[in-house]
Amino acid sequence: MQAVASLRYGVIFKKAFSQPDVFTAFVKDILGIDIIIDHVETEKSFPSPVGNVNNHFDLFAEDKINRIIVDIQHRRYPDHYHRFLHYHCAALLEQAVSAKDYRPALTVYTIVVLTSGDKHGRDMSLIDFDPKDRHGQGLGEIPHKIVYICPKYLNDETPEAWREWLLAINDSLDEQVDETHYHKACVQKVFASIQKNTLTPEDRARMKDEYSEDELRREEWDKAEQKGREEGREEGAKIKALDIARNLLNVLDDATIAKKTGLTMTEILQLRQANR
């Protein structure tokens, strides 16, 4: 068994997957395409913000020979489907400045790795930008794609080429991996690069910061969910009170109805007017 840092931390994920050979091997297995790169940028941003939002790409690589951009995003957000769609479109729109027409010079692929899972519980989901006819047949006009993958939901139908990567990512989350279960050289290289005894003080500081940010975000989500439940209960109680009051309009006077239901006299008067 190896003691490793969890790939749920962005700093650790970038440390592992910013290695060009690991990046290209991962892209090959997930997207089925070969790319030629000599470096991977982390926290990539464009000189001029697109759409007045300065996006930062976790991992960004450009293959100028095969005319492909691949960015890998990591981390779960409440709005991750929309957020990374925006990032993907930013990588497309940034090319429009120098393009002769609206066709970007480079094909853009985005891979989003949701290490914490997702409410839909799918191992993968896809946004395919190619136009389709009414039978779902693609026209082959637009190759750009976004692939969302959730290692937590690996199943029997998950593509074989993906399996070891998803297993490795998920296996790292408890900070212990049995490296003998893995055979891909680049997966072994991922484990070697995130061993706990190789972490720098800067790595550990970033991990602590991310942990604190995640805890704060979780508290905010919990508060929002609790507020939603309370508002739902209050709304349900109000609907019930209105139903009771509506049935009493022809039986009791307004003051008595208000006392029994907790409604205001104004609300009861509005009910009487609506039921005339």
Q: Is the dihedral of CA 131, 50, 25, 119 positive or negative?
A: negative
Residue among 166, 170, 189, 171 nearest 111 (CA): 166
pTM above 0.75, yes or no: yes
Q: Which two tokens stand for residue 96?
A: 């429009």
Kindly give the confidence (pLDDT) of every residue in the chain, 276 residues in length, as a single tens digit, with 9 standing for 90 and above. Answer: 899 999 999 999 999 999 999 999 999 999 999 999 999 999 998 877 776 777 889 999 999 999 999 999 987 778 899 999 999 999 998 888 777 888 888 999 999 999 988 889 999 999 999 999 999 999 999 999 999 999 999 999 999 999 999 999 999 999 999 989 999 999 999 999 999 999 999 988 988 888 777 666 666 666 766 777 777 787 888 888 888 888 888 878 888 888 878 888 888 888 888 776
Give the pLDDT score at 227.
Answer: 72
Using CA atoms, how far residue 268 sits from 13, 85, 212, 238, 252, in Å, is 60, 48, 49, 12, 11
Q: Which two tokens stand for residue 99?
A: 């393009």
Q: Where are the beta strands (DSSP E) in 134-269?
A: 145-149, 176-177
Give the domain ranges of the chain: 2-199, 200-276
Q: Which tens digit of pLDDT belongs to each residue from 26-78?
A: 999 999 999 999 999 999 988 777 767 778 899 999 999 999 999 999 877 78
